């Protein structure tokens, strides 16, 4: 038999995640964090916000791809 799956006790809601990302963005702005990292936080925040609104994960990923990468397809959406 395989190993038992590990249970994560620290599962957070989308609302909490969105708040944490917003705080990380503020801190990153103060510390002059590289733009690439700030862009990743923006993508994550958009993903969390759309999930809070009840959208499906792949639909959210495709919507974000359309926002940030015109002409990019499903491959990039799967990476989100």
In tens, the pLDDT along 16-26 reads 888 888 999 99
- Please state the rounded mean pLDDT for residues 1-21: 70
40 confidence band (pLDDT: 50, 70, 90): confident
3-state secondary structure at position 26 = helix
70 confidence band (pLDDT: 50, 70, 90): low
Note whether 38 and 29 are within 8 A (CB).
Answer: yes
Q: What are phi and psi of 43, to 5 degrees?
A: -65, -45
Q: Cα 65–71–75 angle (5° rounding)?
A: 55
pLDDT of 79 reads 60
pLDDT at 80 over 60: no
C-beta contacts of 28-35 below 8 A and 24+ residues apart: none
């Amino acid at each position: 038999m395989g190993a038992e799956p590990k249970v994560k006790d620290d599962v957070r809601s989308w609302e909490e995640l969105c708040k944490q990302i917003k705080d990380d963005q503020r801190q990153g702005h103060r510390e002059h964090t590289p733009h690439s990292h700030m862009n990743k936080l923006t993508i994550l925040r958009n993903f969390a916000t759309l999930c809070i609104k009840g959208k499906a994960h792949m639909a959210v990923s495709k919507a974000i791809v359309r926002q940030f990468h015109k002409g990019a397809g499903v491959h990039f959406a799967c990476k989100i």
